[in-house]
Amino acid sequence: MKLNKGSLLTVAVLCLSVLFSSCSVASVETKLYKTPEEYSISEDFTVADTGDYSLDFIEDMASVVLRNKEGEIVWSTSPIESYEERLDEYGDPIPLHSKVKSAIIIEYIEPGTSKISTAYSFKECAGTGSYSVKEIADGIEITYYFDEIKISVPVEFTFKDNVVRISVEPSRITEGEYRLYSIAVAPYSCGIYNLSQNGYLFVPSGSGAIIEPCQLEEGSLTYSRELYGDDATRYRERELDTEKYPENRLAIFGAKIYDDSAICAIIEKGAEHAFIEAETGAVNTGYSSVWAKFALRAYQWSKIRNEQQVKLYSKSMSQDTVTVAYRLLSGENADYVGMADTYREYLISKYGMKPQNADSLLNLKIVGGANITETFLGFKYDKFFSATTLDQAENMISEVKPLVDGKITADLIGFGKSGIDVKTIAGGYTVNSDLGGEKALKTLADYAKENDCKLFFNADVLGLSKSGSGVSKASDTALSQDKRKIKQYYYNLYLRKKTTEHTPYLLVARKLIPDITEKLAVSFSDIGIHGFGLDTLSTVCYSDYTDSKYFSKGNMANDVGQAIKSIKEKGYAVAVNEANDYAAANADIIYDLPLTSSKNNIFSFDVPFYSIVFKGYIPLSVESLNLTSNADNMLLKAAEVGAGLSYTLVNNGSTKLFDSFSSVFYGSVFEDIKPLIEKDIEKYQNDFKLIENAKISNHSILENGLHKTEFDNDVTVYTNFAQNALSVNGRTVESGSYLFVRE
Amino acid sequence: MRCFKKIVSFLLLLAISFSVLTVSAATALDSPELSFDSYTYWQDYAGQEKKAVYCKPMYEPSFAMDYKYLGAAELIQINDVCTDKDGNVYILDGGAGIIYILDKNYKPVSKIEVIKSEQNEEYYFDNASGIFIKDDGTILIANTDYETVLACDRNGKYLYELILPDSNIIPEDFTYAPIKVAVDAKGNVYVLSQGSFYGALLYSPDNDFLGFFGANTVASTVGESLKALFTELFMTNEKKALSDSKLPYQFVDLCIDKENFVYTVTGVTDSTSIEVQKGQVKRFNPGGVSVLGKDDFNYADATVSKVLNVTKAQDLMGIAVDDNNFVYVVDSTYGRIFMYDRENQLLCVFGGGIGRGNSLGTFSLPSAIALNGDDVLVADGELNRVTVFKITEYGRLVKKADNTVISGYYDKCKEDWLQIMSLDKNNQVAYKSLAKIYLSEGNYDLALEYAETGYDKQTYSLAFKSVRREFLVKYFPVIFVLIIVLIIVLVVSVQRASKKEKNVIKNQKLRTMLNCLIHPFEYFDRVKYKDEGSVSGAFVLIAIFYCTTVLKTTAGGFLFTDYDPAEYNAFLKFIQTFGFVFLWTVSNWAVCTLFGGIGKLKEIFVVISYALMPLIIYNALFLGLSHFFVANEVGFLTVFNVVSLLYSGILITVGSLKIHDFSFGRFVGTALLSLFGMVVVVFLIFISATLVQQLGGFIVTVASELIYS
């Protein structure tokens, strides 16, 4: 084939245009900052009044407070306790730090250096009078003008249905040379005094964690983690991650202020942009608090000279409105259980979550296979290692089913074309022929139906490392804010750095998620399975800068919710794994229920908040007992919250699987695990029946250390995690044991 | 067309530049129950010194003791943690100069802030680095800044001090800054002093200075030894003083087992190595002689990490040993605790944080390690807390079984090991132990199976020897008869063929090729002058050589091969075989042409290829015999190897003499020059590749600038 110069040029131009068009990212211009000619400042006035409460504007703070009908302040953007006069050692009133008195705190990017600095609304706006107020329905809008850095932020404060809502619409933010990175909304509204005896902060880390306030002689303890985990489209940063921890999965935080009052803050809009932050011990502020910071701009780590890493911030800002709703809890509700109840009500109203009465005691994860490396005359090739065929899976189910009086659940993981490895999207929407193919799956599905087993087929609908099944690696993947396709690498086991031993994969373009899930449901329509396991979809949250609505992880909750709904509309159930709230609320079973927090230095102890929210509504299952460090402890945790048991199983183990990225193969061989299953089921089955489908009505940690869980069917469970036997009501609970009591 | 290729190449480069890295999110199979991955290393796995694999956790973090727990306003810097014989725990906040005392259930009991003598003199120990509790309850404090080891009781009552002794052994410039202290069962006191490379200062039970105990040695190369000799012989004292001297590294921690053997750990053993350190742990007998014999073993992770362009060097800085000689060492950089048994087998690695840990079980800067029964206590000098790791049921089982098998009671721990195997298929020690157990039972088949899986060549060899003996006893008569028959058939066939002057091989070139092996002078002559060399035959020989070389590794006997498919580099073998032949051919042709050689390129290629035949035969023999020999018969294979190499050398020599019509001397000269030429060619290839790589980088940079500007 001979090509002339003209043809060559045309080909080149076409290729370049295709390449660049596939790499185009959306951009949104921010309005230009303009100092108003005159600030519309007002004196204190009531902006909303419901009879029981009134929301009042306070001029000297440029903020609002909520008063009850007795005129007492019950909520404010500053800690409630800060309205009680505190005196120093000389008898003088202790002045409040401007951070504590600020309605918002912003972080902005300095031009040129990209350094992040902080500005406080109290100091920069209230103190200088550079703000404007405007009455709106049920509330007030205060625009904070940070004149020095030329950024203005309009913030809406409303009070309706006994809920204070604070909203920010990024589309109305104006900027000059300095660009806004994040807004922390009412950072000290959930504040408590550092020396408070009864107060605590609640953080949704994993299962949920409590921070008891403290006062240090210098410095402070801080916490900052993204809600729903790190943005998977952000590269490099994971290289610096040196720990494994459960992420913040629920869009809620709060504080118990006094014995009979607490504040529960729910992030109603823009939760994907949120970081949950907390601080305690700071002597300069005197208060501890937990709040939500919304990162409206994304950043990427980028190499500059000498391989130094710098953060590059996106030009465009997310346009999603962010809203935090504050609810007051009082009396017996003023604790983390009350917060869980409130949050559950919110999920019910938002996602239509309802009790399923479908708890199952035994929940299996059966692993199909993985690719291993073999050589032919020294040259490497991938060979599929069949860890469990579908026939073997049927045998496993048939062997354990008689142990259980009721339904069991089985999630088939890694039964797609490439096993547990990520290749074509959703495992190619097919069943690996080495494992038996679709025919064998149909046989298994029929068997499962006849034998009261809910069979899920797990598929990764987000990752791909090969084009195919209608999704191209070249054009159908998500882009980062600097127009790059982001490779998802696996960790090196001991250095926790990226490894090239396993093929990295890409994340699919966000806009394709609904189509892919729909296609998955259609592809398996004749098989007869109960549902799909969508673990990555339920846990991974990421941006895609091809469309402004996906900036900074935007709209992930909505998209995933829609995707799950579309599957459910086709009659399938959905199994999720350690899921974010938006996926968990729509699911039919939650595997790997978070039962610990990230055990951060700042946390005082864990609480089973996640379980309290979902128990009785969505069936729960703990982490696989055969892979935990302490199976007895896991059983104890299951008993504490009434969750089902889980086991990860394979039929054939081999040291050939050493090089698999997965950590499950060392202890999952069914023949070895079966006695463990039998022992656990025998121990737990009758107790589980007592709390099957029941909801948790209360939870507490008694003074002697016993954990007490009360269910709504009058069953109480005492669990003893201590090293010694403990007693309650004249009955002894041995160390590492539990006691079921019907009150 | 070339232009088109360039454009395509450019576009490909551009496309590659769009792909950068991030690390994967969680999968359904990965759950963060612990804040670190629990893993172990398989030792000597398929030729790799260490291969990291997941394992079932033997320890899990239980709780952390911080300032709140201890009832302190704050902690400045925890430098050491220690336990006494009753299980009481002592935490040294060196920064503040306070010792917190807890009972065996970790309940805070009291604290010592100042030590007072009967005369009410006050002794402070701020910035103290270490403590030790003697069996009689005496607390010894390595009071670094005050240059003493301070002894007091639990109530802070002053007892005595160990100061720098007045002794001829101690150099004049010696600085006494005690950092760690330990006491053996006889009451001898061992003190490590900051910057001392002489070993530990040893005091008698009566506190008399006895001398220095143990020390790291300086490893030196032959070159360094020669240099030292030269310095000694030819340099003046002034010059000697100015020259660098290599000093051993100091111990950073020590502990003593129940047999009075002293374990020491050295953080950095080789400052020139930014990769891994070696020989960090030593075990000295009471005479001060190192008896572990593992000076070339790396006790920490297999490799090191680079974060933001800075290498995070390994730094083992704490050591503890229990009554059964299980040794625990902690790496302060990576926050990992490595647990070894008394046979130096790694059982598990736990902890983590890589200098940035915050969660329970991870660390920012571990400063000390101690044991309390089965609990492992790790102090963090930056987070200022002591984390208590509890042993899991699995861990307890492994410790029990390992202790039993090492003690030689094979019959008492089989069930335990089988249970361990059912819980963790990645436990190498379990495979090895079961192999030994089955060997002792005479169950050789299972012993072979477990030894092969566990890469225990020693046990495999013993079991295989027994299997082979049984096989030979059973089948020797049959095998003997078969061999005799085979020899007779061969001899008769050859005699018949020679009588009839019949050529079994019809192809003349092929015949020449094979005859080169037996009559090299005659047949290489025919290659030169009768054009009987076959290029295609040469290619076939190289291909066979490549295949047999690969098969030698991939299909050779277990005892003589180390094969890991994931690590095997076929390309390297390819270069070693084909590359060597082609390089020699080109280089030898170029050199010999200059020196009047008349050999053609084709002939040189034929000679070097035909010379591979002995090596091919050796490879084939190896493939067969390696499945039949046991480890101590490796000498046979070595002899075969040497013979084949020599024979190949002879073939190359004879062939080259014939085709170039050289004298032997000229052949040697040109051969050496050819080898040098090969090195030059490799160097040029390397330079070219580097330039191409740099050009690629430049294009990527330009493209990035264009795209992101």
Nearest Cα of chain A lies from the Cα of B641 at a distance, in angstroms, of 21
Q: Is residue B94 pLDDT above 90, yes or no?
A: yes
Q: What is the mean pLDDT of chain A?
A: 91
Q: What confidence tens digit (pLDDT) does each residue in A672-686 have?
A: 999 999 999 999 999
The DSSP bridge partners found for residue B331 are: B316, B336
Residue numbers in B near A658 (CB within 8 A): 42, 51, 53, 426, 566
Residue numbers in A near B353 (CB within 8 A): 242-243
Sequence-separated (6 or more) residues with CB below 8 Å from residue B454:
B428, B429, B430, B431, B432, B434, B435
User: What is the Cα–Cα distance from A167 to A320, expressed in whole angstroms?
Assistant: 11
Alpha helices in A580-691 (DSSP H): 581-584, 609-614, 631-641, 670-691
Q: What confidence tens digit (pLDDT) does each residue in A439-496 have?
A: 999 999 999 999 999 999 999 999 999 999 999 999 999 998 777 888 888 888 888 7
Choose the mutation target among A385, A590, A629, A656 for the interface with B, i.e. most B CBs under 10 Å.
A629
Top mean-pLDDT range of B204-208, B301-305, B693-697: B204-208
Nearest Cα of chain A lies from the Cα of B470 at a distance, in angstroms, of 29
Query: If DSSP codes are grouped into helix, strand and coil, which group holds residue A44?
Result: coil
Within 10 A of B400 (CB to CB), how many other CB atoms are there? 15
Cβ–Cβ below 8 Å for A240 and B25: no
**Tell me, what's the pLDDT at A737?**
95
User: What is the Cα–Cα distance from A648 to A397, expressed in whole angstroms?
Assistant: 12
Cβ–Cβ below 8 Å for A244 and B34: yes
> Chain B within 8 Å of A539 (Cβ-Cβ)?
yes
Q: CB-CB: which of B32, B52, B573 is closest to A246? A: B32
Helix (H) or strand (E) holding A618: none
Where is average pLDDT lowest: A178-192, A382-396, A606-620, B277-291?
Answer: B277-291
B415 is written with which tokens? 């069930």
Map tokens 């009839």 to a residue: B500
**A574 phi and psi angles, rounded to 5 deg:** -130, 125
> Chain A within 8 Å of B228 (Cβ-Cβ)?
no
R_g of chain B computed on alpha carbons: 34
Cβ–Cβ below 8 Å for B19 and A484: yes
Query: If DSSP codes are grouped into helix, strand and coil, which group holds residue B354?
Result: coil
The DSSP bridge partners found for residue B158 are: B152
Cα distances (angstroms) measured from residue A526 to each of A418, A433, A443, A516, B378 = 21, 17, 11, 18, 57
Q: CB-CB: which of A242, A488, A490 is closest to B362? A: A242
Cβ B143 vs Cβ B150: under 8 Å: yes
Nearest Cα of chain A lies from the Cα of B166 at a distance, in angstroms, of 44
Q: B475 and B423, same structural domain?
A: yes
> Chain A within 8 Å of B32 (Cβ-Cβ)?
yes
- Report CA torsion sign: B129, B133, B134, B139: positive
| Among chain B residues, CA nearest to A305 | B309
**A158 phi and psi angles, rounded to 5 deg:** -125, 160
> Chain A within 8 Å of B706 (Cβ-Cβ)?
no
B576 is written with which tokens? 């070693």
Q: B574 and B468, same structural domain?
A: no
Residue numbers in B near A736 (CB within 8 A): none
Cβ–Cβ below 8 Å for B19 and A485: yes
User: What is the Cα–Cα distance from B691 to B695, expressed in whole angstroms?
Assistant: 6
> Chain B within 8 Å of A283 (Cβ-Cβ)?
no
Q: What is the mean pLDDT of chain B?
A: 88
Say which residue, A465 or A5, is predicted with more confidence: A465
In a domain, B602, yes or no: yes
User: What is the Cα–Cα distance from B685 to B674, expressed in whole angstroms?
Assistant: 16
pLDDT bucket at A355, cuts 50 / 70 / 90: very high
> Chain B within 8 Å of A15 (Cβ-Cβ)?
yes
Cβ–Cβ below 8 Å for A234 and B22: yes
> Chain A within 8 Å of B29 (Cβ-Cβ)?
yes
A-B contacts at Cβ under 8 angstroms: 270
User: What is the Cα–Cα distance from B547 to A377, expressed in whole angstroms?
Assistant: 6
In a domain, B80, yes or no: no
pLDDT bucket at A19, cuts 50 / 70 / 90: very low
In a domain, B545, yes or no: yes
Q: Is residue A631 pLDDT above 60, yes or no?
A: yes
Q: B570 and B428, same structural domain?
A: no
Alpha helices in B506-594 (DSSP H): 508-518, 520-529, 535-554, 570-574, 580-594
The HSE-up count of residue A268 (CA atoms within 13 Å, CB side) is 18
Q: B458 and B516, same structural domain?
A: no
Question: What angle, 0 to 180 degrees and rounded to 10, lies between the N-to-C axes of helices B520-529 and B601-610?
Answer: 150
Q: What confidence tens digit (pLDDT) does each residue in A386-414 have?
A: 999 999 999 999 999 999 988 999 999 99
Map tokens 């005197």 to a residue: A286
| Among chain B residues, CA nearest to A603 | B359
Q: B574 and B429, same structural domain?
A: no
Of B500, B528, B551, which closes a domain?
Answer: B500
Q: CB-CB: which of B57, B349, B568 is closest to A629? A: B57
Helix (H) or strand (E) holding A272: none
Cβ A593 vs Cβ A575: under 8 Å: no
Measured in whole angstroms, the distance separating CA B195 from the mean position of its chain's CA atoms is 28
A41 is written with which tokens? 């400042």
Q: B486 and B401, same structural domain?
A: yes
Q: What confidence tens digit (pLDDT) does each residue in B664-673 have?
A: 999 999 999 9
User: What is the Cα–Cα distance from B578 to B293, expressed in whole angstroms?
Assistant: 41
Full strand arrangement of the beta sheet holding B178-183: B178-183, B189-193, B200-203, B209-213
Cβ–Cβ below 8 Å for A623 and B33: yes
| Among chain A residues, CA nearest to B304 | A495
Cβ B434 vs Cβ B444: under 8 Å: no
> Chain B within 8 Å of A509 (Cβ-Cβ)?
no
- Burial of B135 from C-beta contacts in 10 A (0-12 / 13-18 / 19+): exposed
**Tell me, what's the pLDDT at A542?**
93
For chain A, positions 642-661, list CB contacts with chain B under 8 A.
648, 653, 655, 658-659
Q: Is residue A2 pLDDT above 80, yes or no?
A: no
Q: What confidence tens digit (pLDDT) does each residue in A239-277 have?
A: 566 788 899 999 999 999 999 999 999 999 999 999 999
Strand stretches in B215-364, DSSP E: 253-256, 262-265, 281-284, 305-307, 310-312, 316-321, 327-331, 336-340, 346-351
Q: Is residue A689 pLDDT above 80, yes or no?
A: yes
In a domain, B522, yes or no: yes
Measured in whole angstroms, the distance separating CA B484 from the mean position of its chain's CA atoms is 48
Q: B472 and B420, same structural domain?
A: yes
Q: CB-CB: which of A232, A233, A245 is closest to B359? A: A245
Of B500, B525, B544, which closes a domain?
Answer: B500
**Tell me, what's the pLDDT at A89?**
78
Within 10 A of B204 (CB to CB), how many other CB atoms are there? 12
Q: B663 and B525, same structural domain?
A: yes
DSSP conformational letter for B73: S
pLDDT bucket at A17, cuts 50 / 70 / 90: very low
Q: Got the DSSP string for A519-564?
A: HHHHHTTTT--SEEE-HHHHH-----TTSGGGGGGTTHHHHHHHHH
Q: Is residue B394 pLDDT above 90, yes or no?
A: yes
> Chain A within 8 Å of B362 (Cβ-Cβ)?
yes
The DSSP bridge partners found for residue A710 are: A698, A716
**Tell me, what's the pLDDT at A235?**
66
Where is average pLDDT lowest: A103-107, A538-542, A660-664?
Answer: A660-664
Contacts 24+ apart (CB under 8 A), B66-73: B66/A601, B66/B383, B66/B384, B66/B385, B67/B384, B67/B385, B68/A214, B69/B108, B69/B385, B70/B100, B70/B102, B70/B108, B70/B111, B71/B108, B72/B98, B72/B100, B72/B111, B73/A217
B518 is written with which tokens? 């037996």
The DSSP bridge partners found for residue A209 are: A203, A606
Q: Tell me whether strands A192-193 and A179-185 are parallel, antiparallel or unpaired.
A: unpaired
> Chain B within 8 Å of A371 (Cβ-Cβ)?
no
- The CATH number linked to B491 is 1.25.40.10
Average confidence (pLDDT) over A517-538: 94
In a domain, B659, yes or no: yes
Q: CB-CB: which of B4, B24, B52 is closest to A494? A: B52
A671 is written with which tokens? 């023949």
**Tell me, what's the pLDDT at B18?**
40
Q: Which of B424, B454, B460, B453 is nearest to B439 (CA)?
A: B460
Of B500, B535, B560, which closes a domain?
Answer: B500
pLDDT bucket at A304, cuts 50 / 70 / 90: low
**Tell me, what's the pLDDT at A37?**
79
Q: Is residue A21 pLDDT above 90, yes or no?
A: no
> Chain A within 8 Å of B392 (Cβ-Cβ)?
yes
Q: B541 and B436, same structural domain?
A: no
Give the number of domains in chain B.
2
In a domain, B449, yes or no: yes
Cβ B674 vs Cβ B587: under 8 Å: yes
Q: Is residue B263 pLDDT above 90, yes or no?
A: yes
> Chain A within 8 Å of B422 (Cβ-Cβ)?
yes
The DSSP bridge partners found for residue B283 are: B263
Cβ–Cβ below 8 Å for A662 and B392: no
Residue numbers in B near A233 (CB within 8 A): 22
In a domain, B588, yes or no: yes
Residue B346 Ramachandran class (φ > 0 left, ψ -120 to 50 alpha, else beta) = beta
Cβ–Cβ below 8 Å for A378 and B568: yes
B658 is written with which tokens? 């014939």
pLDDT bucket at B12, cuts 50 / 70 / 90: very low
Max CA separation in chain A (angstroms) = 96
User: What is the Cα–Cα distance from B549 to B555, expressed in whole angstroms?
Assistant: 10
Alpha helices in B72-216 (DSSP H): none
For chain A, positions 660-719, list CB contacts with chain B under 8 A.
662-667, 669, 672-673
Residue numbers in A near B426 (CB within 8 A): 655, 658, 665-666
Helix (H) or strand (E) holding B648: helix B634-660
Q: B632 and B527, same structural domain?
A: yes
Q: Which of B673, B621, B649, B671 is nearest to B520 (CA)?
A: B649
Cβ A563 vs Cβ A579: under 8 Å: no
**Tell me, what's the pLDDT at A20?**
46
pLDDT bucket at B356, cuts 50 / 70 / 90: confident
In a domain, B277, yes or no: no
Q: B542 and B493, same structural domain?
A: no
**Tell me, what's the pLDDT at B248?**
73
Q: CB-CB: which of B24, B57, B66 is closest to A489? A: B24
Q: What confidence tens digit (pLDDT) does each residue in B437-458 have?
A: 999 999 999 999 999 999 999 9
**Tell me, what's the pLDDT at A489?**
86
Question: What angle, 0 to 180 degrees and rounded to 10, lies between the N-to-C axes of helices B508-518 and B601-610?
Answer: 60
User: What is the Cα–Cα distance from A588 to A102, expressed in whole angstroms?
Assistant: 42
Q: CB-CB: which of B20, B27, B56 is closest to A667? A: B56
Give the length of chain A: 743
Q: What confidence tens digit (pLDDT) does each residue in B134-146 have?
A: 999 999 999 999 9
**Tell me, what's the pLDDT at B30?**
57
Cβ–Cβ below 8 Å for A245 and B31: no
B382 is written with which tokens? 């930056």
> Chain B within 8 Å of A13 (Cβ-Cβ)?
no
> Chain B within 8 Å of A523 (Cβ-Cβ)?
no
Q: Got the DSSP string for B514-539?
A: HHHHH-HHHHHHHHHHS----HHHHH
User: What is the Cα–Cα distance from B602 to A229, expressed in whole angstroms?
Assistant: 65
Cβ–Cβ below 8 Å for B28 and A592: yes
Question: Can you give the residue range of the structural domain that contains B440?
Answer: 392-500
Nearest Cα of chain B lies from the Cα of A472 at a distance, in angstroms, of 14
The DSSP bridge partners found for residue B48 are: B45
Where is average pLDDT lowest: A25-34, A45-54, A285-294?
Answer: A25-34
**Tell me, what's the pLDDT at B469?**
93
pLDDT bucket at A157, cuts 50 / 70 / 90: very high
Helix (H) or strand (E) holding A440: helix A437-450
Cβ–Cβ below 8 Å for B574 and A539: no
Q: B647 and B512, same structural domain?
A: yes
Measured in whole angstroms, the distance separating CA A275 from the mean position of its chain's CA atoms is 10
Residue numbers in A near B33 (CB within 8 A): 596, 623, 628-629
> Chain B within 8 Å of A239 (Cβ-Cβ)?
yes
> Chain B within 8 Å of A41 (Cβ-Cβ)?
no
Q: Buried b / exposed e across A110-127, counting CB within 10 Å, b at 16+?
A: eeeeeeeeebbbbbbbbe
Q: Which of A54, A49, A92, A52 is nearest to A76 (CA)?
A: A54
